[in-house]
Structure 1
């Protein structure tokens, strides 16, 4: 069993080496799961008891290595509370994904007990996609390690994400690994040369056809000319101290940086998440000194619009939402929001409330069940799980009719959520974020790389404003056209092309994982029925 454990560890290390932001190693994704498959095959064929437990434990260790090495930076956002508390809490994102991955492998083993390898391996892909989709929809959502995200640094290879989204990448990785695994098994089991030749042809086809198709797409893709001048601002304010700064000082920094690059025809100024960090009553924003200061700046630019992050709250007479908290002194309910606001040269204000909330920091998973953890999550920079949200994706429209998709930080990794805004009329994607919590680690680089996937899926420019970096412009092919350095005060300017055409993925969203989940459920039902059938026969 030590050999199988080493194989699983090897898989975990290969996946880590292949993962963003490491360049030039993406190719390893096509072989990294082969050792894991071999380890599972060895256990299945071994004369031992409790094979399912061995498979679950072995695969968990390999996937835990991959996850913990790839997202080690999660610890940085907690370390201020001390290692005795931070380490156990960070084990949740490090271990939860691997537990679900190992569960998919365990289901594969159960399928092998009732059917052959030819059926069980496709079922494994469905079980895996089912785990990935679950991990982006339930209360503990963290789809950072979705396999298809692994191609973010090699975006020229996956231009066909405009048809499939990242789940097409997940299937591609598994298909190549499974065919390599079957080729290895055919050699070990001395199967016929004809069978091996078919496997080689299939492997080459599965690898080369999507790659060739993507490269042709990439080098032949032409953007339609529809320019808009945009400025993104990076104020570089320490996230741990920014909430103590006066609002006028923050806005002064933002307007000075904006003025440094603005043109008379600039249409958008994009400021980062919680750029205005002081809590503001949303219903009275238009009468605040902060709003007046922003409007004074905007008056200089006739066509100008500002998209900025703001910390807002909203009062209700009764509990209109599940997150609203009763204020005893006023007998009112209040919701706190991580908000994007659109300000223009009219008096009109548009709001978008962040909806994909970070578990713990912004949304307490499973409600009252984990309420005892609120003091710990308070150190993550959120509202101890108390943020409100909105149910539907949003679009900001200018007076001239331009549609912008406001994406706040963590929401970058939800392809289908962005696609919903595009279907509603968003012509470009405005990402506002505050990545300073992770410090100068690979977390900020991965977050930037994942934005390239949203550009490809929807063929929309991405304009990314990050408080401490990395701010960037990404074109419709996923190329980073301009980017800032980390931890510098700066602004970037770019003429982008607006796009109103809908890709297949923009129209249909996450159809692949939904189909995969359905097949996974049918697979689980099949396993249960096949195991139950002999008992029924025996009782008769």
Structure 2
């Protein structure tokens, strides 16, 4: 049993070493699951009682190590919630990952009891994809650890994400791990040379063909020249001391650093998520002092747009939608974490962050858990304060340029961003803070993941982060320019706009949808098989 524990721990460590932002170790993803598969096989072939329980416990240990070492920084981002009760509840989405991963492995064991090893391993891939898609789609979503994200620092390897999205990477990793595992068991079980030769050929082809295609695509890819001048501002405001920096002063800092690089033909100024920290009434924004301050800045730039983050709200006399909250003095209110596009006209465009962080920004299963709202309110928490919107947004400039506004956490939802691209967006603007995570690997992972969105959509990505890291990423996923952490600065770049639609943008997350359907059918099959066995 100790040997199996060590094998599971080894898997957890290998997967952590392979994970962004670590460079030059991505290849460990191709062997990271092998020790765990061997441990599972050892338990299956042993005389141990309660094999399913043992497999769940062993795999959970490895996955817990992997997840914890990769997203340890989450705790820093939750410190702003403060209350002892609020923090554990907010951590639930992140802690669920190892549980769901271990459940997929337990289901693999149950499937193995009623089918052969080959079919069960194929089923494991579908069960894993089903878990990943569930953890992307439900109220407790946290797709940060989706396997395909692991190639973010080696983006030259996965240029074919423009066809598959990150789930193609998940399948690639599992197929290679499974084939290596089968080669190992084949040697141990003294399989015939013919079978081993076939496995070696399959392993070689599955590794070489996607990699070769990707490298060819990377080095042969040429962007169509369609330039637009963009300036990204990084004000470097400490979020834990924002009360000492009033909103008007923050905007003043942003206009100064933007002015330092701006040209007369600059079309977009990208400001971070928390650029306007005070709440603004969307229905009366034209009279807001903050809006007027930004308009004065734009007077020098005829075609200029300021795409900025801000806290906004809307008031209602009657409850017209389910997201509105009642006010003590009467009426209702919707609060938003917003992206705002301001131009040299009275037109103002809003996008409301819709992929909200479970816990700090949205109460999961709010109808079922609505009784918890008074707890957070009493303890000073911020859980469940934001409303979102049903569809992704596209901002259009006066010259007709379409841009996808993405607010912080939303940048890891490739399918959501793809829908916006399909609606006419020509580049992606990610506005974030990232200072909540402090100087940890969280900010680096966030930037690395943005490279995947560039490849999936073949769009430039312009990321503005309050304290860093801000960057320009081209359509191949290369970071063309980037800032340093904790520095007040700005960067500018002529980006190439694109209107082409990739296969992934056109079809979205088709791979996890198919995988999830197969996973559901497998669970039904396992359940029926167990029922029949008990009847007999």
TM range (shorter): over 0.9
Shift of 1:274: 2.2
Give the SS at the match of 1:232.
Answer: strand
- Structure 2 counterpart SS, 1:4: helix
Shift of 1:77: 2.2
Alignment of 1:125-524 (within 5 A): 125-243=125-243, 245-329=245-329, 331-367=330-366, 369-370=368-369, 383-524=382-523
SS of residue matched to 1:313? strand
Structure 1 vs Structure 2 CA RMSD = 1.9
Distance 2:365 2:53 in 1: 28
Corresponding position of 2:103: 103
CA separation of 1:474/1:377 partners in 2, compared to 1, >3 Å: closer, same or farther?
farther
Q: Do the aligned partners of 2:94 and 2:142 also contact (CA within 8 Å) in 1?
A: no
Q: Conserved in 2, the CA contact under 8 Å of 1:337 and 1:354? A: yes
Change (3 A) 1:246 1:484: same
| Deviation (angstroms), 1:288 | 1.1
CA–CA distance in structure 2, aligned partners of residues 33 and 131 of structure 1: 16
- 8 Å contact kept, 1:176–1:207: yes
C-alpha distance in 2 between matches for 1:235 and 1:141: 30
Q: Which runs of 5+ in 1 are unaligned?
A: none
Secondary structure of 2:315's aligned partner: strand
- Change in CA separation of 1:90 and 1:351 when aligned onto 2, cut-off 3 Å: closer
2:26 touches 2:154 (CA, 8 Å); kept in 1?
yes
When residues 320 and 123 of structure 1 are mapped into structure 2, their CA distance, relative to the original with a 3 A threshold, is: same
Do the aligned partners of residues 56 and 380 (structure 1) sit closer, same or farther apart at CA in structure 2, a change above 3 Å counting? farther
Task: Kindly state the Cα deviation for residue 533 of structure 1 after the two structures are TM-superposed.
Answer: 3.1
Q: Identify the residue that residue 58 of structure 2 maps to in structure 1.
A: 58
- Note the C-alpha offset of 1:246: 2.3
Deviation at 1:242, TM superposition (A): 2.0
TM normalised by structure 1 equals 0.96
Aligned equivalents of 1:193, 1:454: Cα separation in 2: 43
Secondary structure of residue in 2 paired with 1:278: strand
What per-residue deviation string (whole Å, max 9, x for no partner) do you get for residues 483-526 of structure 1?
A: 00001100000000000000000101100000000000111111
1:40-76 deviations in Å (ceiling 9; x for gaps): 1111111121111001111000000000000000111
Q: Which moved more, 1:463-472 or 1:520-529?
A: 520-529
Alignment deviations for residues 349-374 of structure 1 (CA, whole Å, 9 cap, x no partner):
11000000001110011225545765
Compared CA separation, residues 518 and 406, structure 1 to 2 (3 A): same
Paired with 2:15 and 2:30, the residues of 1 have a C-alpha distance of 9
Task: Give the Cα–Cα distance (whole angstroms) in 2 for the partners of residues 376 and 345 of structure 1.
Answer: 45
Shift in Å, 1:338: 0.1
Alignment partner of 1:447: what SS? helix
SS at match of 1:366: coil
CA offsets 1:350-401 (integer angstroms, 9 cap, x no match):
1000000001110011225545765887899984212010000000001111
Encode CA deviations 1:392-431: one digit per residue, 9 max, x unaligned: 0000001111100000000000000110000000000000
- TM superposition shift of 1:86: 8.3
Structure 2: stretches of 5+ with no match in the other structure:
none
Which region of structure 1 is more displaced relative to structure 2, 459-468 or 381-390?
381-390
Runs of 4+ in structure 1 off by over 4 angstroms are 79-91, 368-382
Q: Contact 1:161–1:457 at 8 Å: present in 2 too?
A: yes
Report if aligned partners of 2:83, 2:381 keep a CA contact under 8 Å in 1: no
Q: Structure 2-normalised TM-score?
A: 0.97
Task: Identify if the C-alpha distance between structure 1 residues 80 and 391 changes in structure 2 by more than 3 Å, giving closer, same or farther.
Answer: closer
For residues 142-165 of structure 1, what are the alpha-carbon distances to aligned partners after superposition, in whole Å with 9 as ceiling and x for unaligned? 000000000000000000000000
Q: Return the offset for 1:91.
A: 5.4
* Per-residue deviation, 1:88: 4.4
Question: Take 1:313 and 1:108, find their aligned partners in 2: how far apart are those partners?
Answer: 47
Q: Is the 8 A contact 1:234 1:272 kept in 2?
A: yes
Deviation digits for residues 59-109 of structure 1, max 9, x if unmatched? 000000000000000111234677976884575345310000000001100
| Counterpart contact for 1:81–1:379, Cα < 8 Å | no
1:321 deviates by: 2.7
Indicate conservation of the 8 Å contact 2:471/2:482, yes or no. Answer: yes
Cα distance change on mapping 1:434 and 1:22 into 2, 3 Å: same
